[in-house]
Structures are given as structure tokens and as C-alpha cells.
Amino acid sequence: MSAIASQMTKNRSGILKVLQGSPVMGPLAALIIAIIFFATQSDRFLRGENLSLILQQTVVVGALAIGQTLVILTGGIDLSNGMIMALSSVLMAGLAVSSGVNPILAILMGFLVCIIFGVVNGSLVTRIGLPAFIVTLGTYNIAYALVRIYTTSTITNLPAPLLFFGQTFRVGSTEITYGSVLMVILYVIVWYVLRSTPWGRSVYAVGDNPEAARLAGINTNRVLTEVYTVAAITYGIAGLLLVSRTGVGDPQAGQTGNLDSITAVVIGGTSLLGGRGSIVGTLIGALIVGVFRNGLQLMGVGSIYQVLVTGILVIVAVSIDYLSHRRKA
Amino acid sequence: MSRKLFVVLSIFAAFAIVLAACSSNASTPASAPAAPAANATAAPAGGAAPAASGQTVVGLITKTETNPFFVKMKEGAQAKATEAGAKLLTGAGAKDGDNEGQVTALENMVNAGAKGILITPSDTKAIVPSIQKARDKGVLVIALDTATEPQSAVDALFATNNFNAGLLIGQWAKAAMGSKQPVIATLDLAPGITVGAQRHNGFLQGMGLAKADPNSSDLVTASQVVCSQDTHGDQTEGQTAMENCLSKNPNINLVYTINEPAAFGAYQAIKAAGKDKDITIVSVDGGCQGVQGVVDGKIAATSQQYPLKMASMGVDAVVNFAKTGQKPSGYTDTGVTLITDKAQSGVDSKDSKFGLQNCWGNK
């Protein structure tokens, strides 16, 4: 890295060039600095159980942010993701508990509803050509209403399969949830797909310049519809993770999932303009939010400052992205 | 370095300073004629924040950061914690009903070494499994203001008897209406929340219009209730709800509201409709602005509750638990007083002067 950096210093904006070369470096540096800072502030911070907890607390937004990253890479945005997650989670819980459906089948039906929403989002964006912002604002409200039409009270006493990802296994003396592992695996899969498959490259191409992508023979409408659908499946996984983490089907969940996931994506260095960014950055972005929330709490700082930090991180991240992008142009 | 990047980094550094200053203030606001925290550079303001060994750590998790009720609760807890030499951690959901935010705060406080956690559950059922996990680790958990479902999910509950709070305004309204036939609108909280149901049901029982289970989270109703709307305790939503109720039935003459912000919203709608002389509004809370509403004649009667007392009792209980290992149990009623300037015979009440002396929030 230093070799590249020294080469870059010929140009006045060396730091920006490095960030531009690898957009993950900025967020990664911020994450490491934050971890070091909190480790000096609380002797409890670096304990295995606490780090495992931060990971657990990141799984729901982390899973939502995978789908959000895919959508944002195509130049779109998904405001409906938190409510699609909430709808799938109350359906999974409600079908299994109130309707006596086999829990595995209930989970699958939750996913089915997610897929339907994904196809609807994708079709409206591609077939009618509506802006993603408007389409997903609409489906956000539809999913919000459907949750409340389905249930207004919290669903408890869930069967074991729904709680599996909240269970833990031990590594040394540290308990890690299966949900944390699932999230990390998902990130690895999506990282591989985006990096090394033609489909992954077409996602970037569509976001970077849809017209050029079309001329290069990519069926942009099909890619977009697939992206919204795959994204919706990750919201279903988020729903399952949410249910297993909190142990209940909660009709009030997910209302800020859209903004929380966009926050993770943006802090992770993915451009809202589409075509640039990385899924690893998103994971780091989600972890940064989790680290600050946990670390500030351990320090005894009021939770309103956690919100303040998040706001500042978003602005810093977007500023860096904007500055490095403009210099490139 | 480019100037713009410099600006961004400066903002970040400035923020680090603010944060360092806050962290030392947050832990001991009253006692410390503060260390020169303002001089702190980007380097951490060491020493002040981490829990000193032997100091009891108490967590307080409220529904939101902003509601004056919880602000007062926090003040009460902080004052008591300072007095007892304990360290107070605070947390809250992003908004009313945000269960996951409360779960996260709860987990973080357990990891921060909290001996006991005081919580006003946003979602009375959903929080239960997480509370159980904390209790399994030996943490004392006390619910403040709002009971969990089941109530036994926590070690103890320090709260207003919300059913009684509703009962009092119901009894008062029945006496105040006299022989007039009541045509009632209820501006409620949200579905499935115990507090909202208890106040609503207590009110209707006090009116003598319905019988209800004081612990139920389901709303009862009566034929005299012509309109029921959820307001989430919000003034704007209260206004919209009242406007809708008035267009549904213009003969409404009595309005029950879940809290005073909802009552002010209702008053706004009623005044705009020119009916402020014909309609009586009753409410629950006893916040300073609410009691001022009683003085101004906007709210006829309100049941006053005492958040500061709940919180200071809670901190006391945790500190005592840390010293003696004794846990509090069951339900402790922190009291409720009917505040009105139109006292009715047979219903105990105090005037708005008493109300203003004992109210919470900004005057």
C-alpha cells in the first residue's frame, strides 16, 4: 500500500487516490480506529463475548444491507426493504404459531412473499420505468399496511426452527450465534458473485451506464428485475434472523430498516449514483455502526450521541466518495 | 492535502472533541465541577468514562430520548445515581415501539457490567425473551412505567396504576357530565399496548359504561363511544384523529385522550370546529404543559403520574441489590392524582396549583 501511496504523492491528493483505488480502505481504517479507540476506553470492549455481541447486533441490518447494496449498485434505491423483512418475519412467526403450519413451510412462505415483492419492485422499475425511489416508497407502505392487517400483536412462543439462528455455539469461551455465521457466509457468497461472475459484472455495468450496458448486449431489464428479486430474498433472510434474534414476531419491527441499511451501504463507500462500491465495504459499514453503538454504550455515553455519530459518519463517507469521484472525472 | 478533505477531517476531529467532552460529562454530570474536558484534543478523555471498580452500574432504557416524561425519568435516575455513587448508563429506542433498539441497548448494558437495568418496555411482549437472557446472567431487571407481558418477566414493576389513572378521569367525567348523555370519542395509543388499554378501559369503567380486566391489553368499548382512533400519543396524530371523529359524529361531547399531547391535538381540532365550549377533554399524564392546559381550560381533568419517583426508586433498588443481594419483587404503585379545577363531589382531586408544583417536563 505504501508503495502505491508514495507513487500517488506526486499528485497533491495522494490520500484521495488511495481511497479511489480501493474504496474499502477508508471504511476499514475508520473501523480499525474506532475499535482501537473503544478498546482504550473500556476494558470490556475487546472481550470475545462483546465482539460476538456486536456481530449479533449487526446481523439484521447486515442482511438488509446486502440487498440494498445490490440495488444501489444498479443506481436504484430500496425503501421497502425493512417492511418486506417485517412482513416476512410476522408471516413466518404467525403461520407457524397461530395457523399451525409446519415451521419450515412457514419460513418458505415468508420467503415466497419476499420474492413476490421483489418481482413487483423490479417489474415496476423496468417495465413501466418508474423511479426506484417511488416504487419502493409505494411497496414500503403496502408492506407496512399488510403487516398490520395480518397482526397487530406480537407473536410469541415460536417453535425451534424459527429460533435456530439465535442459538449459539462455543469457540473457546465465546458464544457465537449461527445467525452471525450465516450473515458472514452470505457476504462471502455475494462478494464472490459480484467479483467473479458475468452476472456480478453486469450489475456494475447496469449501474455505471445502462445505455452502454445495453449496447454491450446486457439485458438490463432482466438484470434489474433479478437484482430486486435477489435483494428481496436477502430481506427474507433478514426477517428470519430478526425473528431468531428477538425470539418474537414483532409487527412494529423494520420501520427504519431502509435508512439503517442505506447508512451501512454509504458508510461502506458504495456510491449512491450506482456502478461503484463493494459488498465488503457494506459489511464494514454495518460493523462501524454496531461498533460505535456498543462502544459508546460501554463508555456510558447517552444513546442520542450514537445517532449523532452515525449522522457524521454518513456525511464524511459521502464527502470522501464525492471528492474522490470528482477528481477521477 | 486538498482543502476540502481537510475540512471533512476537521469536522471529524471537532466531533471527536465534543464526544470526549460528552463522555466525561455523561458519566458524572452533577458531581463533577467538570474536569477540563473541553481542553481534550482528539485523544480520548481517559479516566472519566470507564466504570471505576466497585462502582455499581445501573442501566436505564426508555422508550424514546425525546418525550419529556422520559427526560424527567432520566433526571430522577441521574440524581439518585449521583447521590448513591452509582454510574448510570442510558439508552432508548429510536422511536416508540422500537423493540430491537431496546434489545440492543439491553445487551450492551449487560456487557457493560450493569448490576441492574430499569426499562420502560416499548413493546411489552417482544422484549420479554431479551429480558430473560439478561436475568439469566444475574442482572436485576425492573420495569418502570409500563408492565411487561407477562408482568412476571421482570423482577419488579414500579409504575403508575394506569387503570386507576383512567378510572379517576372516568369517575370525574361521569360526575361532571351529570344528566347529559355522553357521546364519547377515545383517542388511544396503539393496538396491543397494555398502558393504552388500561387507561382506556379504566376510563370506561369509571364512567360506568363497561367492565374490564385491569390487566388486559385489549380495548373494551360501549355504545356511547362513537369514535376510537390511535394517536400513538402524538399531538399531530391526535389532531387528525379528532378532526376525523368530528366529521364522523359532530355530537361528540366528551373526549378521552391517552396523554396530554394527544389532548392538545384534539383541542386544536375542536377549537377549529368552534366546539370548544361544548366538548370536555380528559387526559392522563400530569406533565407541566398538560397541567398548564388544565389552567387554560383546554383540558378539564388529567391524572398526574410521577416518573421521577419511579426512576429514583428503581436506582435505589439496584444499588440496594448490589449491596445486599436482595431483589425487589412484585408491583409497586408510584401513585396517581387527579388534577382539575372543577372538583366534583365524591371524586378525590387536587387543583392545578398542586399539579404545577408536582408536574414533570418543562413548564
pLDDT tens digits for B139-195?
999 999 988 989 999 999 999 999 999 999 999 999 999 999 999 999 999 887 788
Contact A297 B51 (CB under 8 A): no
Give yes or no for residue A5 having a pLDDT over 80. no
Query: A321 — contact with chain B (CB < 8 Å)?
Result: no
- The reported pLDDT for the residue numbered B66 is 79
Q: What is the mean pLDDT of chain A?
A: 90
Question: Which pLDDT does position A257 carry in this prediction?
Answer: 93
B92 interfaces chain A, CB cutoff of 8 Å: yes
| Residue with grid cell 425470539, as numbered in its chain | A247
Query: Considering chain B, what is the average pLDDT of its residues?
Result: 86
Positions of chain B with pLDDT lower than 50, given as ranges? 1, 20-52
Facing B91 at nearest CB: one of A40, A47, A303: A303
CB-CB contact of A279 with A71 (8 Å) = no
A198-209 mean pLDDT: 95
User: What interface predicted TM-score (ipTM) does this complex get?
Assistant: 0.76
Chain A CB within 8 Å of residue B217 CB: yes
H-helix segments, A127-197: 132-150, 160-163, 178-196
The single residue listed with the C-alpha cell 506526486 is A10
B positions 243-262 inside 8 Å of A (CB)? none
Residue B192 touches chain A, beta carbons under 8 Å = yes
Closest chain B residue to the Cα of A37, Cα to Cα: B44
The CB-side HSE value for A145 (13 A sphere, CA atoms) comes to 5
Q: Provide the H-helix boundaries in chain B.
A: 3-27, 68-84, 99-111, 128-136, 162-177, 194-206, 235-248, 260-272, 288-295, 307-324, 352-357
B65 and A303 within 8 Å at the Cβ level: the answer is yes
| Residue contact A154–B123, C-beta within 8 A | yes
- Residue A10 pLDDT > 80: no
pLDDT of B7 reads 56
pLDDT of residue B23: 45
User: What's the CA gap between A211 and B249, in Å, rounded?
Assistant: 57
Predicted confidence at residue A9, as pLDDT, reads 45
Q: Is B37 on the interface with A (CB under 8 A)?
A: no
The arithmetic mean of pLDDT across residues A116-133, rounded, is 96
Largest CA distance in chain B: 81
For the stretch A69-121, pLDDT in tens is 999 999 999 999 999 999 999 999 999 999 999 999 999 999 999 999 999 99
pLDDT at A313: 87
Q: Which of residues 11-50 of A touch B (CB under 8 A)?
A: 12-13, 15-16, 37, 40-44, 47, 49-50
Sheet with B87-92: strands ordered across: B87-92, B57-62, B116-119, B140-144, B156-159, B330-333
A139-178 residues touching B, CB cutoff 8 A:
148, 152-154, 156
Decide if A317 contacts A271 (C-beta within 8 A).
Answer: no
What CA–CA distance (Å, rounded) separates A97 from A158? 6
Cβ atoms of residues B45 and B74 within 8 Å = no
Decide which of A185 and B64 is more confident.
A185
pLDDT value, residue B54: 75
Which residue among B11, B50, B129 sits closest to A41, beta carbon to beta carbon?
A: B50
Chain A closest CA to B109's CA: distance in Å?
Answer: 7
Asked if omega into B150 is within 30° of 0 (cis), the reply is: yes
Mean pLDDT of A235-243: 97
| Closest to A81 in 3D by CA, of A93, A69, A96, A95 | A69
pLDDT for B196 equals 92
pTM of the model as a whole: 0.78
Rounded distance between C-alpha atoms, residue B189 and residue B186, angstroms: 10
A154 to B91: CB separation less than 8 angstroms, yes or no: no
Cell of B257: 385522550
Interface of A with B in 253-312 (CB under 8 A): 253, 255-256, 293-294, 296-305, 307-309, 312
Kindly tell me the burial class for residue B137, based on how many C-beta atoms sit within 10 Å of its own C-beta (0-12, 13-18, 19 or more).
exposed
**Rounded Cα distance, A247 and B103, in Å:** 11
- Asked if B26's CB is within 8 angstroms of A302's CB, the reply is yes
Contacts of residue A221, Cβ cutoff 8 Å, sequence gap at least 6? A126, A127
Q: What residues have CB less than 8 Å from B194, skipping those under 6 apart?
A: B124, B146, B147, B149, B162, B215, B217
pLDDT value for B194: 81
Q: What is the mean pLDDT of residues A235-241?
A: 97
Chain B residues 338-357 with a CB less than 8 Å from chain A: none
- CA of A237 to nearest chain B CA: how many angstroms apart? 16
Q: What does DSSP assign to residue B45?
A: -
